């Protein structure tokens, strides 16, 4: 397996977690510290859980941080991530639309038979 494929797999695993996606959403427009993120995530997560997810996002170059008065403030490193997430959402919606259409067609066929 190529190195690029390994990085791609790891990147997709990072994006596959709901908490990390929520963190990215929270950081979309403003930088925030871990306490801010913890307060805004629903359901509320522990500080250690938030820290674990922030580390994964930093390690995978999705977010960065700046220390201000001994507090880390996190921000999006590259806004292209939101274009990618939007494209993924559109693709998933299209795939599921086709599945639902196929199921409706089967239901109609069964009803007419």
User: What confidence tens digit (pLDDT) does each residue in 61-89 have?
Assistant: 999 999 999 999 999 999 999 999 999 98
Q: Is 50 in contact with 38 (CB distance < 8 Å)?
A: yes
pLDDT at position 92: 87
Contacts of 38 (CB under 8 A, 6+ apart): 44, 45, 46, 47, 50
Nearest to 76 by CA among 89, 61, 56: 61
**pTM for this prediction:** 0.81
For the chain, the domain total comes to 2
Residues 20 and 45 occupy one common structural domain:
yes
Residues 14 and 65 occupy one common structural domain:
yes
Residues 111 and 66 occupy one common structural domain:
no
Residues 67 and 36 occupy one common structural domain:
yes
Query: Which CATH number belongs to the domain containing residue 23 in this structure?
Result: 1.10.10.10
pLDDT at position 20: 97
pLDDT at residue 100 greater than cutoff 80? no
pLDDT at position 101: 72
Residues 43 and 63 occupy one common structural domain:
yes
pLDDT at position 112: 60
- The range of the structural domain enclosing residue 10 comes to 1-78
């Amino acid at each position: 397996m190529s190195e690029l494929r390994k990085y791609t797999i790891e990147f997709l695993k990072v994006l596959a977690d709901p908490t990390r996606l929520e963190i990215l959403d929270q950081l979309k427009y403003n930088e925030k510290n871990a306490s801010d993120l913890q307060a805004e995530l629903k359901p509320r997560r522990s500080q250690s859980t938030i820290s674990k997810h922030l580390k994964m996002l930093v390690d995978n170059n999705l977010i960065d941080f700046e220390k201000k008065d001994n507090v880390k403030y996190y921000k999006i490193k590259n806004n292209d991530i939101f274009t990618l997430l939007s494209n993924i959402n559109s693709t998933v919606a299209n795939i599921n639309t086709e599945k639902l259409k196929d199921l409706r067609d089967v239901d109609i066929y069964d009803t007419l038979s």
